[in-house]
Structure 1
Amino acid sequence: MELRHLSAFVAVAEELHFGRAAARLHMTQPPLSQQIRQLEKDLGVALFERNTRSVQLTAAGRTFLGPARDALAAAAVARRAARAAGRGEVGAVSLGFAGASSAVTLPVLTRAVAAELPGVEMTLRGPWYSGEPTGRIAEGTLDLGFATVSGTRGLASRLVRRDRLMVALADVHPLAGRSEIELAELAGERFVAFPAGRGSEVRELFVSSCLDAGFMPTVVQEAPDSFSLLAMVGAGVGIALVVEAAQSIRLDHVTFVPLAEPAPVLPVSLVWRQGDDSAVLRAVLDLAEQVLPTPAD
């Protein structure tokens, strides 16, 4: 039994006329009659009563009509689903993000996917430190991620944002009212920071920037995430260098002051595996190029 046989049967059953059914199917009457005979042979029953003046469904034909329509409808759904998957319009993509450094880019992409690719399921993984998603993408446990890239082989990336470092201070700190701060002015300060050795590019950039400014920062306490870090700042434990996207975390008693230019910059890239031929991933990447274009220098 083939789908073309079911299509031929439904057309004849609805038209009750072989000539009209053949015209509806854009074919001639002899091959249509042959398909009906083949279907009846496969089923072992007569589906139509024919004479020179009329065509009528048999009891078996009337019983078979509903399931035949259902089978054709299911085949049409399957065909549409396969074609949509081939175009990347349906499927699933896992997306990793890195805390505050993804606070601006993440909602832009996920909202665009929800609006433009409603058949794509985005599974969010994180938050992690900014260097972590690259390893997970490389090992194949993550499809796509917002991350900094440090030359990991086998990965492709595109810059989507440059995040400047800022100073986060308690609102009672003597420098809290300044319009900008020179990094060298912070040489005697106590700092809170993300843990060393955990893949935090923010921590590495913070330390290297302080060394470039002529001092080794004194880290008095470490925090596992941006919220905890800023809570410690507000409590007066120390100050912190954070990405400007961290301003999206609203906490009482914390203020942000820009660093004097040229301020250290953390690049944020969209990262994926080279050679990944997933159609749904390509659709998401194409959409990301529209909503998160590479920033100008």
Structure 2
Amino acid sequence: MFSLDQLTAFVAVAEELHFGRAAERLNMTQPPLSRQVQKLERAVGVQLFERDNRRVVLTEAGRAFLGEARRLLSLVETAGDLARRVDQGAAGTLRLGFTAVSAIRTLGPFLRRVSDELPEVDVILHERVTSAQIDGLLHGELDLALARPPYDAQLLDSLVVAREPLCAVLPVGHRLAALDRPLSAADFAAEELISYDPDRAGYFHELTVRFLAGSQHRITQRVQQVLTVVLLVAAGRGVALVPESARDLGVPGVAFQEIGLAGEPVELHAIWHRDSANPVLHRVRAMLSEHQ
């Protein structure tokens, strides 16, 4: 087996065709350089140079070996450079969780930023509801999640990456869709309401409960995902509250109406495990902070 030092010595001599100049190029004396080349020839099992007191010439085997030696040295240099880039977070893999609704307005721009600013980072996508994303972070299956609160703030850190209003989604032609004003909680009295599972979609469940507190309404369905809610509304099964970005789902047969709730209470968070050792995650977190 030959060493990298032997390959380096061989390439220097092959390019200079002079042991003295090659030794000077490598900042060493000629005798150890000659020994490195001799060891390489013994390891390879062929003579790589024809040499005498007047000249040094590559053999046919030496010319063939030169290309491979250069390639091996280049691979070693490239491997070291790749390792440094991975250590700095400029290259590597990011396992990203997202929900269907978070993908509408946030995922695309986020992926384009990663592609532009960190082109050597490979993003592996995992579509999951928020609870499954949080579980993935805690079990080391995900590096970053685009999800909703709540989560264990002692183990997970986050950054708000998007805010938007909550609005009503109604079947086309519904009486509330014709009102020329924001809807109040009282407007939902006696309506069949499609709501959210308090355990698996606790964030939107809480937003719905908070807005409709004190009003008379009847919940007929509890589901996990915003898309499912909109599809049930389109099927005429009731009315619901959804994030404003649900408009972009493009589901036919529904209308959206503003509600009387100030501000943009629906938040999307980038969430990560605070003990993560993935250098890419640190670079992506810095990128997200810069775009706030």
| 1:4-19 superposed matches below 5 A | 4-19=5-20
Query: What 5-or-longer segments of structure 1 have no aligned partner?
Result: none
Q: How many angstroms apart in 1 are the aligned matches of 2:18 and 2:159?
A: 61
- The structure-2 alpha-carbon separation of the partners of 1:104 and 1:9, relative to structure 1 and needing over 3 Å to count, comes to same
| 1:278-289 superposed matches below 5 A | 278-289=278-289
TM-superposed CA distance for 1:187, in Å, is 2.7
Q: How many angstroms apart in 1 are the aligned matches of 2:27 and 2:118?
A: 38
Q: How many corresponding residue pairs?
A: 288
SS at match of 1:99: coil
SS at match of 1:237: coil
- The structure-2 alpha-carbon separation of the partners of 1:151 and 1:16, relative to structure 1 and needing over 3 Å to count, comes to same
TM-superposed CA distance for 1:46, in Å, is 4.4
TM-superposed CA distance for 1:264, in Å, is 7.0
Alignment of 1:86 with 2:87, yes or no, is yes
Q: How many angstroms apart in 1 are the aligned matches of 2:113 and 2:167?
A: 29
| 1:43-54 superposed matches below 5 A | 43=44, 46-54=47-55
TM-superposed CA distance for 1:131, in Å, is 4.1
The answer to which of 37-46 and 196-205 deviates more is: 37-46
SS at match of 1:198: coil
- The structure-2 alpha-carbon separation of the partners of 1:243 and 1:88, relative to structure 1 and needing over 3 Å to count, comes to same
Structure 2 counterpart of 1:75: 76
TM-superposed CA distance for 1:241, in Å, is 0.4
| 1:1-297 superposed matches below 5 A | 1-23=2-24, 25-30=25-30, 31-40=32-41, 42-43=43-44, 46-58=47-59, 60-128=61-129, 130-152=130-152, 153-177=154-178, 178-211=180-213, 214-215=214-215, 217-262=217-262, 265-291=265-291, 293=292
Whether the 8 Å contact between 2:171 and 2:254 is mirrored in structure 1 is yes
RMSD of equivalent CA atoms: 2.5
Q: How many angstroms apart in 2 are the aligned matches of 1:217 and 1:102?
A: 31
SS at match of 2:11: helix
> What whole-Å deviation, never above 9, does each CA across 1:57-95 have from its counterpart, x for those lacking one?
245534532332232232223222212212222222111
Q: How many angstroms apart in 2 are the aligned matches of 1:155 and 1:223?
A: 26
Whether the 8 Å contact between 1:207 and 1:217 is mirrored in structure 2 is no
Q: Which runs of 4+ in 1 moved over 6 A?
A: none
TM-superposed CA distance for 1:135, in Å, is 2.6
Whether the 8 Å contact between 1:138 and 1:273 is mirrored in structure 2 is yes
Give the aligned residue type for 2:265: V
TM-superposed CA distance for 1:263, in Å, is 5.5
Q: TM-score, normalised by structure 2?
A: 0.87
Whether the 8 Å contact between 2:211 and 2:261 is mirrored in structure 1 is no
Q: How many angstroms apart in 1 are the aligned matches of 2:61 and 2:128?
A: 61
The answer to which of 231-240 and 34-43 deviates more is: 34-43
Q: How many angstroms apart in 2 are the aligned matches of 1:219 and 1:256?
A: 19
Q: How many angstroms apart in 1 are the aligned matches of 2:99 and 2:139?
A: 18
Whether the 8 Å contact between 1:96 and 1:144 is mirrored in structure 2 is yes
Give the aligned residue type for 1:260: G
Whether the 8 Å contact between 1:155 and 1:274 is mirrored in structure 2 is yes
TM-superposed CA distance for 1:122, in Å, is 1.2
- The structure-2 alpha-carbon separation of the partners of 1:70 and 1:263, relative to structure 1 and needing over 3 Å to count, comes to closer
Q: TM-score, normalised by structure 1?
A: 0.85
Whether the 8 Å contact between 2:195 and 2:221 is mirrored in structure 1 is yes
Query: What 5-or-longer segments of structure 2 have no aligned partner?
Result: none
SS at match of 1:56: strand
Give the aligned residue type for 1:160: V
Q: How many angstroms apart in 2 are the aligned matches of 1:262 and 1:253?
A: 27
SS at match of 2:101: helix
Q: Percent identity?
A: 34
Whether the 8 Å contact between 1:132 and 1:199 is mirrored in structure 2 is no
